[in-house]
Amino acid sequence: MGKHVLLIEDEPNIIEAISFILSRDGWKVDTHSNGQTAVAAVHEKRPDLVILDVMLPGRSGFDILKTLRAEAATAELPVLMLTARGQTKDREMAEKMGASRFMTKPFSNAEVLDAVRALVAG
């Protein structure tokens, strides 16, 4: 079982928090903060799990997720979506586009760990 996460997020405090939580739990964490090159980063890093923010510079997380789900190599990749807005329509859109799980900011350390462990365990 791999423990490699690619965090696609552009807020430094969130990058720092999630990287810290997961590294401490034994995960290898790569980070990426540009929406336009995010799909390429996923192919390059080949993570076991992607944590993807909805609001990114260059391209939205929904758009990135749509591309990942459309490609054979990443169609089954677990994706945890993060959003600052707890709006139902965001959640519905994430589910419709194939997000494995959805989490709203702010979240607790335990929530992040539980979500990530559950997704990789399948």
Q: Which amino acid is at 89?
A: K
Looking at residue 31, what is its pLDDT?
Answer: 98
Give how far Cα 66 sits from Cα of 15, 20, 39, 100, Å. 23, 28, 10, 12
Residues 51 and 29: their CA atoms lie apart, in Å, by 10
Looking at residue 85, what is its pLDDT?
Answer: 67
Residues 5 and 51: their CA atoms lie apart, in Å, by 7
- The rounded mean pLDDT for the chain is 93
Q: Could you give the residue ranges of the DSSP H alpha helices within the chain?
A: 12-24, 38-45, 61-70, 88-96, 109-121
Looking at residue 122, what is its pLDDT?
Answer: 73
Q: Could you say which of 3.30.1360.120, 3.40.50.150, 3.30.70.20, 3.40.50.2300 is the CATH number of the domain covering 4-121?
A: 3.40.50.2300
Which regions of the chain are under pLDDT 50?
Answer: none
Looking at residue 92, what is its pLDDT?
Answer: 86
